[in-house]
Amino acid sequence: MNTEEVIFRKEDGVAYVTINREEALNALKSSIMQRLDELFTELEQDDEVVAVVITGAGQKSFVAGADVKEILDAGEGRTALITKGQQIFSKIRNSSKVVLAAINGYALGGGLELALACDIRIASENARFGLPEAKLGLMPGYGGTQMLSRLAGIGAAKWMMFTGNMLGAVEAEQCGLVQKVCSLEGLLEEASGIAKKIAANGPFALKAIKRAINRGIELDLDTALKVELEEYEKVAHSQDAIAGIEAFFAKKSPVFTGK
């Protein structure tokens, strides 16, 4: 049995990150956050990896939140804990890799915020989504108020945060929080298949698409379209674009270098 708190492996251009603290429903204690921080720093230097899949160990929970006991014990250190957590999730959100969350159960509080920092969310039928912080007299602090409103709309976000109610997988899919729902048994295979499909595309273009969307969504349309053009210009002159177009006419699979 692997006893590491975060299990990491790579295969076919995809990195797999498993939060491995099943006995506490994979709650994010500081050492796990620290490891995520290190891994996403290292991944920036790793040209072999195009996509990353994050999941939780076991069959019950993706991540049931920040570690409530640590929050309690942190006392005056709570603001520092939140600031650090927000920085780590921003690093994941702005990673040059395409990041998928394979949500295998509870995604609550900081766990949902981790999923929101990912680019794509795939959930098993038993997944449950919530930001129950107000029930603890707290509020989401790892980006939840902003990211959920942007993704699922202000109404759904306020409803979830004010009531603390959880959404099921199908409801989460209906409000755009989740892109695909599948069986728990098939979840990793599904996520892995999507990640590999993405990883087979031009890495240079994938990075530019992610930058264009992440930067553009915060801007007015005219400025955002300029961002798209800026990124397009880089992609148009990339080696990957030449390789992709040549392979298309040669009726072969392209060999991309990410340049």
Q: How far apart are CA 77 and CA 229, in angstroms?
A: 44
Nearer to ligand CO8, 93 or 196 (CB): 93
Q: How far apart are CA 62 and CA 136, in angstroms?
A: 20
Residue 36's nearest CA partner among 103, 105, 110 is 110
What are the structure tokens assigned to 121, written together? 């969310």
Q: Is 89 in the site for ligand CO8 (CB under 6 A)?
A: no
Q: How far is the CB of 180 from ligand CO8 (least distance, A)?
A: 23
- Residue from 40, 142, 204, 256 touching ligand CO8 (CB under 6 A): that is 142
Q: Per DSSP, what are the bridge partners of residue 17?
A: 8, 54
Q: How far apart are CA 188 and CA 17, in angstroms?
A: 12
Q: How far apart are CA 76 and CA 74, in angstroms?
A: 6
Is residue 246 among the annotated active site residues?
Answer: no
The 10 Å Cβ neighbour count of residue 70 is 17
| Active-site hit among 4, 38, 44, 133 | 133
Q: Is 147 in the site for ligand CO8 (CB under 6 A)?
A: no
Residue 47's nearest CA partner among 203, 196, 202, 201 is 203
Q: Is 120 in the site for ligand CO8 (CB under 6 A)?
A: no
Q: Is 143 in the site for ligand CO8 (CB under 6 A)?
A: no
Q: Is 256 in the site for ligand CO8 (CB under 6 A)?
A: no
H helices, E strands: number in the chain: 11, 10
Q: How far is the CB of 61 from ligand CO8 (least distance, A)?
A: 7
Q: Scanning the structure block, which residue is given the tokens 């993405």?
A: 198
Q: How far is the CB of 159 from ligand CO8 (least distance, A)?
A: 17
Residues numbered 58-87 forming contacts with ligand CO8, rule: CB under 6 A: 64-69, 71, 74, 78, 81-82, 85
Residues numbered 92-111 forming contacts with ligand CO8, rule: CB under 6 A: 106, 108-110
Query: Which residue blocks in 21-67 are alpha helix, DSSP H?
Result: 30-44
| Active-site hit among 5, 44, 70, 113 | 113
What are the structure tokens assigned to 236, written together? 């148009």
Is residue 113 among the annotated active site residues?
Answer: yes
Q: Is 43 in the site for ligand CO8 (CB under 6 A)?
A: no
Query: Footprint of ligand CO8 on this chain (CB under 6 A)?
Result: 24-25, 27, 64-69, 71, 74, 78, 81-82, 85, 106, 108-110, 132-133, 136, 138, 140-142
Report the catalytic residues. 113, 133
